């Protein structure tokens, strides 16, 4: 696998985390630089570690992981999306507060990095330096997530309190997309 292929894989793996980062930016009323870095680090580190874990697991457990990874991502993202949608209807403009929840971020980082685990299994059978590949995946994810949070902040300013509703819908759609792709119903 060459550098161009590795960068393309990195961008593809980062897309779910990028979309969720946009949602995080949408959900927060004010965003501090440290919060942007923390969000991007969560996603980047998980995207970096999961291929290494997958590489270590190898083909022995591939069938087990592929059987349910899409269900885990779908359930986690849907629950968080539904929670965001419900919160939209519970709040008035005056009640909206800066939302930065590390537990939620942890769950989102896991949900969006499960595909990277499966990619790591595949990388175990290629002539590739797994640590360089994982570092590249993590860095690309980090950069895209910083951009995603900033896009979310911009979108929030345009949508006001409807931004959280949009963010919840996007999370549910991402989870549904992951599920439908893995079930072979759609191919993107």
Convert 93-117 into a string of H (helix), E (strand) and C (coil).
Answer: HHHCCCCCCHHHHHHHHHHHHHHHH
Residue bearing the bigger pLDDT, 128 or 50: 50
Give the integer Cα–Cα distance in Å for 54 and 45.
14
Q: Are 8 and 133 within 8 A, CB to CB?
A: no
In a domain, 51, yes or no: yes
When divided into structural domains, the chain yields a total of 1
Q: How confident is the model at residue 65 (pLDDT cuts 50, 70, 90)?
A: low
In a domain, 188, yes or no: no
In a domain, 39, yes or no: yes
Q: What is the pLDDT of residues 30-43, one digit of tens each?
A: 888 999 999 999 99
Give residue 94's pLDDT: 43
CA-wise closest residue to 83 among 169, 177, 159: 169
Q: What is the pLDDT of residues 77-135, one digit of tens each?
A: 788 778 778 877 775 544 445 567 888 899 989 988 887 887 887 777 677 899 999 99
Residue bearing the bigger pLDDT, 174 or 138: 138
Give the integer Cα–Cα distance in Å for 39 and 41.
5
Give residue 63's pLDDT: 64
Give residue 96's pLDDT: 45
Give the integer Cα–Cα distance in Å for 112 and 105.
10
Give the integer Cα–Cα distance in Å for 70 and 23.
20
Q: How confident is the model at residue 137 (pLDDT cuts 50, 70, 90)?
A: very high
Give residue 144's pLDDT: 95
Give the integer Cα–Cα distance in Å for 21 and 42.
10
> Is the per-residue pLDDT at 14 higher than 70?
yes
In a domain, 90, yes or no: yes
Give residue 118's pLDDT: 75
If one counts every other C-beta atom within 10 angstroms of the C-beta of residue 154, the result is: 13
Over residues 51-78, mean pLDDT: 76
If one counts every other C-beta atom within 10 angstroms of the C-beta of residue 140, the result is: 24
In a domain, 9, yes or no: yes
The residue segments making up the domain with residue 65 are 3-182
> Is the per-residue pLDDT at 157 higher than 80?
no
Percent of the chain at pLDDT > 70 equals 85
Over residues 174-182, mean pLDDT: 83
Both tokens of residue 162? 């409807």
Residue bearing the bigger pLDDT, 154 or 52: 52
Give residue 59's pLDDT: 59
In a domain, 140, yes or no: yes
In a domain, 187, yes or no: no
């Amino acid at each position: 696998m060459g550098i161009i292929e590795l960068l393309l894989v990195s961008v593809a793996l980062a897309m779910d985390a990028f979309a969720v980062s946009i949602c995080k930016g949408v959900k927060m009323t004010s965003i501090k630089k440290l919060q942007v870095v923390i969000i991007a680090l969560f996603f980047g580190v998980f995207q970096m570690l999961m291929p290494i874990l997958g590489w270590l697991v190898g083909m022995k457990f591939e069938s087990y992981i592929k059987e349910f990874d899409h269900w885990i991502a779908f359930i986690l993202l849907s629950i968080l999306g539904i929670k965001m949608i419900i919160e939209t209807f519970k709040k008035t403009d005056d009640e909206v507060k800066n939302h930065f929840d590390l537990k939620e971020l942890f769950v989102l980082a896991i949900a969006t990095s499960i595909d990277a685990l499966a990619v790591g299994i595949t990388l175990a059978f290629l002539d590739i330096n797994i640590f360089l590949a994982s570092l590249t995946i993590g860095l690309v994810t980090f950069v895209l997530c910083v951009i995603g949070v900033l896009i979310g902040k911009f979108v929030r300013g345009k949508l006001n309190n409807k931004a959280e509703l949009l963010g919840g819908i996007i999370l549910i759609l991402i989870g549904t997309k992951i599920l439908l792709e893995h079930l072979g119903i759609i191919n993107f």
